[in-house]
Chain A
Amino acid sequence: MCLGVPMKIVSRDGDTVVAEVDGVQREASIMLLNEEVAVGDYIIVHAGFAISRLDEEYAEETLSLMREVFSEEDMA
C-alpha cells in the first residue's frame, strides 16, 4: 500500500491531473506537490496524490554515472 507509481502527466485541470503508466490512466491530486508540474512531466503517485516530481535529468545523470563506473571493460 506504500507503493508509489511513477506516471506521466497527460492532462491537467487545476489541482487534478490525469497521469498514465503502461497505458493505464488515473486521476491524481497535485495539492501535496511543492513544485509546478505540466503535461509531459513525470510524478510519483501514491494513494491518489502526486507526492514527488521525478526529475528526468537526474535519472539520466544517475544512469550515465552508473555506466561509467560499472562499464564492461572495468569488470573484465
Chain B
Amino acid sequence: MKHGMKFQDEFRDRGLVQNMAANIRTMAQRLTSPVNFMEVCGTHTMSIYQYGIRTLLPENVRLVSGPGCPVCVTPIGYIDRALACTTDRDNIVATFGDMLRVPGSGSSLMEKRAGGADIRIVYSPLDAVALAKNNPDRRVVFLGVGFETTAPTIAASILEAIRLGLKNYCVLAAHKTMPAPMEILTADPELNLKGYLCPAHVSTIIGAAAYRPLAEVHHIPCVVTGFEPADVMQGIEMLLAQNLRGESRVEIQYSRAVSWDGNPKALAILHRLFEPCDAVWRGLGVLPGSGLAIREEYADFDAERALTLDVPEAAENPACRCGEVLKGKLTPFDCPLFASHCTPETPAGACMVSSEGTCSAAYKYGR
C-alpha cells in the first residue's frame, strides 16, 4: 500500500510490533493478577481487530471494547425521531452514511429511502448546508451524532447557514461527550478495569487534561493513544508500566496529534452553539451532563424545536446484546445473533452497522 505519509508505514512495521509484544509479555510476568484495559474509540477497536493485536498479548493482559463508536451509542429512540423527520415530504434528511442501516423500532432510514423518502448521504455537514442552499423551498434536517470530534463540525455548519442567511437548515442533535461513560465504567466492579486507551481523535479536541479526574479521582491509568498498531502496542505497554509501578496518571502516547489542552478554537465554536445536557446512551442509559443540546439562541436551527416530532415509545430487539457489548461485558461472539441473524448486510443492532462497531470489526476480521 502506498501512503501519503512517510512515517505511516513505520508505525505498522511488523518487526517493531513483534518486539513490543515480546516486551509486553516480559512485563506481564510481573503482574500479580490479570489486567483489563478498555479502548473507547471506534478507530482503536477497528485497529485492534484488523491487526490481531489481542493475539499478540499474554493471557493476563486483556483488551475490552467500550462505548467508543458514536453510531453505536446512539439510542434507538433517536433513530425513531430521525425516521419521523422523513415523513414530511418537504424535508430532506441529510446524514453520515453509517446511520442508514441502523435499525429503529419499526424500520431503518435505508428502508424509508427505498419507500421514497428523500434521504441524502453527506461526507461533511457543510455538504448538508449546500443542499439547503440549493433547495430553498425544502428543509434540510441534518442528523447530528458523534462525540467532540464531530460536534464542532456541526456547530460550524450552523454558523455557515447563518452566514448564508439560510432559514431552511436544522440539526437533530444527539451529540455525546467523552469522559462521562468512562467514569461510570471505571466504577463497575464486574469490569475491573485497570487502564484506558483514551480516544485518539476526540482527544485532539478535548485535550489529554480532560482525563485527569479519571486518573486522579478514580485512580485509573489513562494513556491517550494513536491507532496505528505500534501506537496501540505502546499505549498498552505504558498502561502496564503504570500498573506495575502502582501509578495512575494521564500520559500522551499520540503526541503527534494530541496536546494537553486540545483544540481551543474548535472547543470555542462547540460551546458557542451547544450546552451540556443529560443524554441517553445505548446500553448505559441516561448519563447526566453527557450530551450537547443546541443553545436557546440558535433554536431556529434545532430540529427538536423547529419540527413537531410525534414518536411512540422505542422498542429494541430483545435478542440484541449491543448494550452489553458497549459496556465491555460481552464480546460479539457471546451474542446468539452474531453472524447468523445479524450481519453487516442485515444488522439486528447498531454495533454491526458502523464500521467502527465492535460487532462489525469482529465480523470482518474474526478473532
Contact = CB atoms under 8 A, between A and B. Distances in A.
Given A22-B3, A33-B263, A54 B20 contact: no
B4 A1 contact: no
Interface string B300-338: 000000000000000000000000000000000000000
Interface string A6-17: 111000000000
Task: Please list the 7 inter-chain residue pairs (A to B) with the smallest Cβ-Cβ separation, ordered nearest first.
Answer: A48-B124, A52-B204, A58-B256, A21-B4, A70-B19, A34-B265, A4-B201
Of residues A1, A55, A58, A62, which shows the largest number of chain B Cβ atoms within 10 Å of its Cβ? A1
Interface range on chain A (Cβ under 8 Å from partner): 35 or more
A11 to B, nearest CB: 15
A20 B147 CA distance: 25
Contact of B204 (A21, A44, A67, A74): A44
Nearest to A45: B124
A67 B150 CA distance: 34
A39 interface: no
Given A23-B2, A51-B263, A51-B266, A31 B255 contact: no
Contacts of A1: 70-71, 96-99, 145-146, 150, 354, 356
Contacts of A22: 1-4
A9 B305 CA distance: 39
Given A1-B150, A51-B266, 4 more contacts: A2-B43, A2-B146, A51-B153, A52-B263
Interface stretch (B5-13, B55-63, B77-85, B179-187): B5-13
Interface string B279-298: 00000000000000000000
Contacts of B150: 1-2, 46-47
Contact of B256 (A8, A29, A55, A75): A55
Contact of B10 (A51, A58, A63, A69): A63
B286 to A, nearest CB: 22
B69 A2 contact: yes
A71 B19 contact: yes
B22 interface: yes
Nearest to B125: A47
11 contacts: A1-B71, A2-B43, A2-B202, A22-B4, A29-B126, A32-B153, A42-B5, A47-B150, A48-B124, A58-B255, A66-B230
Contacts of A32: 152-153, 156, 263, 265-266, 269
B234 interface: yes
A47 B124 contact: yes
Contacts of B204: 4, 44, 51-52
